[in-house]
């Protein structure tokens, strides 16, 4: 049996794109969840709105619902009027594994309904009824496991088992820092989730090249300078920049910033595997790509507004139109990849550097002993 491998040549001029079977094989999909999603940092859309109006308590949510599905709790501990600490905890009782909270818990303690074990909002075990006589008990592993909580601008991140720390993973995001540091307001009314019939990496592939813009997005192409599109490869991501068309609205950057004079219409920062930070003059559009199966994906759109008056202007203006156009081409590719007469393709060396870089990252994580592990 031939193990499924990506086998992406390091030289884009010679390389072939991943075999079509990659974008649908169930065993290979399971391996991607373990080696790519569990090992990297994920944006937390749930924390954009969490705890509105509540000072203290714990709110349950799932990390990557529909794939990793890890039950977590975001807890806030009020420590005096001005001081609130937050934690990201496992929502699984350390006794025999019952889920701890089914809904928002406003109180100062979490109580497991199975055998009454109680935890503080910081995850520490407070009481374990019936455990008299248990030896070496309690220990640190009887507390709820805590996950790291990091941030880029208004967006929060965590990781179950990070292969690198957050600053290494987000290297390159410094370029966006002055814009991400603006005060942002989450616009819940304009946030939306879409589900598409396609493997998650097809959505990312499409995001990582501006090659298709003149063909697929006429409205967007009209506000960009056709010669001003650039792609930079980062250790764990890709940064694309687009120069604004003459006279159109541009990103305001400090005078000492390397892009101060570049007249940028947008930064498009992708971080492995599914985080997209699109920075426009009006603010930040966070896109989160969440796998739902080997051929199904949820894409979440979360707008964080910094300059409401610029909302409809420039590259960040026609977002709904652009999104619908992208979904259509991604689903058409998903269908094409199921054809018997398609195997794999080639990269356009001047335009598909980001896509190639992404596929190399995947190959590095998936090609070593991949099939054996996923079948185990």
Provide the Cα torsion 182, 183, 189, 195; round to 10°: 50
Residue 93 touching ligand FES (CB under 6 A): yes
Q: Is the peptide bond before 273 cis (omega within 30 degrees of 0)?
A: yes
Q: How far is the CB of 136 from ligand FES (least distance, A)?
A: 18
Shorter beta-carbon distance to Fe ion: residue 214 or 343? 214
Q: Cβ–Cβ contacts within 10 Å for residue 66, how many?
A: 14
* Stretch binding ligand FES (CB under 6 A), from 109-117, 318-326, 333-341, 352-360: 109-117
Binding of ligand FES at residue 288 (CB under 6 A)?
Answer: no
Q: Is 96 in the site for ligand FES (CB under 6 A)?
A: yes
Q: What is the length of the chain?
A: 376
Q: Is the peptide bond before 138 cis (omega within 30 degrees of 0)?
A: yes
User: What does the alpha-carbon distance between residue 53 and residue 58 come to, in Å, rounded to a whole number?
Assistant: 13
Q: Should residue 327 be labelled a site residue for Fe ion when binding is judged by CB under 5 A?
A: no
Nearer to ligand FES, 40 or 94 (CB): 94
Question: To which residue do tokens 């529909």 refer?
Answer: 66
Query: What are the Cα distances from residue 336, in Å, to 55, 331, 339?
Result: 51, 9, 5
By C-beta, is 259 or 326 nearer to Fe ion? Answer: 326
- 93 versus 355: smaller Cβ distance to ligand FES: 93
Q: Which does 93 bind (CB under 5 to 8 A by kind): Fe ion, ligand FES, none?
A: ligand FES
Q: Out of ligand FES, Fe ion, none, which partner does residue 87 contact, by CB within 5 to 8 A per kind? A: none
Q: Give the HSE-up count for residue 323: Cα atoms under 13 Å, Cβ half-sphere.
A: 22
Q: Does 85 bind ligand FES (CB under 6 A)?
A: no
| Residue 98 interacts with, from ligand FES, Fe ion, none (CB under 5-8 Å by kind) | ligand FES
| Residue least distant from Fe ion (Cβ) | 326
Segment interacting with Fe ion (CB under 5 A) among 66-74, 79-87, 110-118, 323-331: 323-331
Which listed range, 114-122, 171-179, 295-303, 364-372, lies at the site for ligand FES (CB under 6 A)? 114-122
92 sits near ligand FES (criterion: CB under 6 A)? no
Measured from the CB atom, the residue of 122 and 190 that comes closer to ligand FES is: 122
- How far apart, in whole angstroms, are the C-alpha atoms of residue 330 and residue 205? 9
Contacts to ligand FES from residues 311-330, by CB under 6 A: none
**Using CB distances below 5 to 8 A depending on partner kind, what does residue 114 bind out of Fe ion, ligand FES, none?**
ligand FES
Least Cβ distance, residue 206 to Fe ion (angstroms): 6
Tell me if 326 contacts Fe ion by CB under 5 A. yes
**Selected binder of ligand FES within 115, 151, 338, 346 (CB under 6 A):** 115
Neighbours of 333 (CB within 10 A): 18
Closest distance between ligand FES and the C-beta of residue 54, in Å?
A: 25
Structure tokens at 18: 């991943």
Q: Does 352 bind Fe ion (CB under 5 A)?
A: no
Q: Choose which of 7, 11, 49, 98 interacts with ligand FES (CB under 6 A).
A: 98
Which partner, ligand FES, Fe ion, none, binds residue 326 by CB below 5 to 8 Å per kind? Answer: Fe ion
Interacting residues toward ligand FES by CB under 6 A: 93, 95-96, 98, 112, 114-117
Residue ranges that bind Fe ion, judged by CB under 5 A: 326
């Amino acid at each position: 049996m031939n193990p499924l491998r990506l086998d992406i040549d390091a030289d884009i001029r010679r390389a072939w794109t991943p075999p079509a079977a990659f974008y649908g094989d169930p065993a290979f999909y399971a391996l991607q969840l373990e080696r790519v999603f569990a090992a990297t940092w994920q944006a937390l859309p749930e924390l954009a709105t969490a705890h509105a109006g509540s000072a203290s308590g714990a709110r349950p949510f799932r990390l990557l619902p529909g794939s990793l599905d890890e039950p977590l709790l975001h807890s806030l501990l009020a420590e005096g009027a001005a001081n609130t600490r937050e934690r990201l905890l496992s929502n699984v009782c350390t006794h025999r594994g019952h889920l701890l909270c089914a809904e928002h818990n406003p109180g100062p303690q979490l109580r497991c309904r199975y055998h009454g074990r109680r935890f503080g909002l910081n995850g520490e075990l407070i009481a374990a009824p019936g455990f008299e006589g248990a030896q070496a008990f309690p220990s640190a592993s009887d507390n709820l496991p805590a996950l790291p909580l990091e941030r880029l601008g208004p967006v929060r991140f965590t990781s179950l088992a990070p292969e690198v720390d957050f600053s290494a993973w987000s290297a390159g995001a410094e370029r966006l820092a002055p814009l991400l540091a603006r005060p942002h307001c989450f616009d819940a009314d304009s946030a939306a989730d879409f589900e598409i019939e396609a493997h998650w990496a097809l959505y990312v592939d499409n995001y990582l090249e501006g090659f298709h813009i003149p063909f697929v997005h006429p409205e967007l192409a009209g506000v960009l300078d056709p010669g001003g599109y650039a792609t930079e490869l980062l250790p764990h991501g890709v940064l694309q920049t687009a120069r604004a068309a003459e006279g159109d609205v541009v990103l305001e950057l400090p005078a000492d910033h390397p892009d101060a004079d570049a007249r940028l219409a947008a930064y498009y920062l992708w971080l492995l595997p599914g985080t997209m930070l699109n920075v426009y003059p009006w603010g930040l559009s966070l896109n989160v790509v969440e796998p739902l199966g080997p051929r199904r994906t949820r894409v979440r759109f979360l707008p964080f507004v910094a300059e409401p008056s610029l909302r409809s202007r420039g590259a960040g203006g026609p977002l709904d139109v652009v999104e619908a156009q992208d979904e259509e081409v991604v689903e058409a590719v998903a269908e094409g990849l199921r054809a018997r007469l398609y195997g794999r393709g080639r990269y356009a060396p001047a335009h598909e550097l980001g896509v190639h870089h992404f596929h190399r990252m995947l190959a590095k994580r998936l090609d070593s002993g991949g099939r054996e592990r996923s079948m185990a």
